Each structure stands twice: as C-alpha cells, then as structure tokens.
Amino acid sequence: MVNVHPRAVARTAAGEHVRSGGGTILVLQPEFGMGDEPWMIVGFAWVADDHQAGLKLLEQLRLEAPPDQEEVGATSWVGWQGAMDTVFPKGSRGYWKNVAFSSLDQEVIDVLVGLASELTWQGTGIDVHHLEGAFGRVPEVATAFPNRSARYWLNVYGFWHDPSEDDRLTAFARKAYALMQPFSEEGQYVNFLGAELGPHDADAARRAYGQEKYQRLLALKDRYDPQSLPPHHNIPPTPV
C-alpha cells in the first residue's frame, strides 16, 4: 500500500511495469485501521507453483513505488472471493461503471489523481486493471468478452448502506466515467453497465460488445433464449 498524498503522480509510473495486475484508489474502511487518508493499493497476483519467481517480479514494482505498507502471501480462491464480505455484507447497495483504454499518459494520470483527491468517504473505489499477457493472447473472436486488445480497464464502483446516499455516490461513478471518455476505446464489461439501463437495453449491449459480436450473440439469443429469461444485462432477442 502507498499513501496517495503527496507523491501520487510519481507512483503511477509503476503501472507501466505491471501486467495482468491492477491498482485501486479508495478510502479504506475503519476495520483496516489505516485512518482517513486516501491510499493507493497496488495488487499483485501470481498463479503458479513457483512463488519465488513471482516474488522476484514483485521487486521491480517495489523499486518503482516503494510501499508504505506491504502484505504478500498465499491465499485460496475461496478466501479471496470472500475478502470483503465483512465490510460489504449481502444487502449492501452498489453502483459500477467501466472504461477500456490503452494509454496511461499524463492526461489520464491527471484525471485519476483528480478523482482520487475527491474521495473523502469510504466504500467507493477506482480500479485500474492492467491487461495484456495471457488475457490479450486469446483471439478476439474466441469469446464474447469485448476488446481484449485494450491495455487497461478502469472500474469505478461504490458500496454503501444508506439509501439516501444513492444519488451522490452514483453521480461520482458517472462523473469518473464521463471524464475518461476522451481516452476510451470500444468495449465495456457488461456487469458494469448501470442498473438504470434496465436488462434489455439493446443500444447499451451493442456499445459494450461491438456490432460484430453483438450480431453473433443475437443469433445465439434468438436460438436458445428467445424469451430472454435471465433477469440481467444481456442481448435482447429479435422482436417477433
């Protein structure tokens, strides 16, 4: 973990040395005992038998962004998936937005640092996922996932408990999404489209997948699910 202030801009250079990892900007919950200051958390995942090889790669990140605090160790998949269960239990409110982009230049860094400086509350986070590697080597036509060629994915999300905070916290995610549009590429993570679009928004699905994949998915939808049973963001079937 590295404190965002006052060295945030220099620390973002570490992103150029990370592949298949991610960075998160958020105000930590009191349960973590980190105080009220914003922090930048750089996550590193190594999936292989040789953990020492992963630790060796981590040294490069340490040189670029010396951590104020660090925790490295093995964890199970189940344990990782439940890491936030005590902080955001079932029934928490949430909202997400997502942007694909490929340049982490000074303009993008300025936007991210500006958004980070506004975070004074707990529960909202800004993730920068570094893709490429094995993820990018999968052929674009092999799966429905949109735009595997993007170098980065930005996720902006919030979790909270008080319904009176709905408008304020969803507005921040929408603002971050709007500020990143000048740098965005085709493709969105469909789980992050936004509840206000409803489950059958054809335009949103087309923008997320791109026209070619949308048409392929539409053909599958018409064949296997013409009644559109799943109640989530998906491809609306062709009207009869």
Quote the pTM value.
Answer: 0.74
- pLDDT bin (cut points 50, 70, 90) of residue 93 is very high
Q: Is the pLDDT of residue 3 over 60?
A: no
Mean pLDDT of 15-20: 44
Tokens for 161, please give them: 């408990």
Residues 54 and 163 in one domain: yes
| Number of domains into which the chain is organized | 2
Tokens for 181, please give them: 């549009």
Separation in Å, CA 82 to CA 6, 195, 216: 32, 23, 35
Task: Write down the pLDDT at residue 236.
Answer: 82
Sign of CA dihedral 53, 59, 65, 70: positive
Residues 203 and 173 in one domain: no
Q: Is the pLDDT of residue 17 over 50?
A: no
Tokens for 176, please give them: 């971050």
Residues 101 and 210 in one domain: no
Element housing 62 (H / E): helix 51-64
At a CB cut-off of 8 Å and minimum separation 6, what does 128 contact?
Answer: 15, 22, 23, 24, 104, 112, 152, 153, 154
Nearest by Cα to 4 from 36, 43, 44: 36
Task: Write down the pLDDT at residue 28.
Answer: 72
38, 27 in Cβ contact below 8 A?
Answer: yes
The better pLDDT of the pair 208, 164 is held by 164
Residues 112 and 187 in one domain: yes
Residues 185 and 133 in one domain: yes
Residues 235 and 143 in one domain: no
Looking at residue 180, the DSSP 8-state letter turns out to be: H
Of 24-33, 184-193, 220-229, which gets the smallest average pLDDT? 24-33
Residues 183 and 203 in one domain: no
Looking at residue 23, its amino acid is G
The better pLDDT of the pair 34, 114 is held by 114
Task: Write down the pLDDT at residue 22.
Answer: 67
The 3-class SS string of 117-130 reads HHCCCCCEEEEEEE
How high does pLDDT run on average in the chain? 80
- Mark 9-27 as b/e (b = at least 16 C-beta within 10 Å): eebbebbeebebbbbbbbb
* Residue 221 structural domain: 199-240
Residues 173 and 224 in one domain: no
| Count of C-beta atoms within a 10 Å radius of residue 81 | 10
Mean pLDDT of 83-109: 88
- Mark 100-111 as b/e (b = at least 16 C-beta within 10 Å): bbbebeeebbeb
Strand order in the sheet with 21-26: 2-3, 39-43, 21-26, 124-130, 152-160, 93-101
Q: Which CATH number fits the domain that encloses residue 158?
A: 3.40.462.20
Highest mean pLDDT among 21-25, 113-117, 235-239 belongs to 113-117
Residues 210 and 151 in one domain: no
Residues 184 and 227 in one domain: no
Residues 180 and 218 in one domain: no
Of 5-19, 108-122, 148-162, which gets the smallest average pLDDT? 5-19
Residues 184 and 118 in one domain: yes
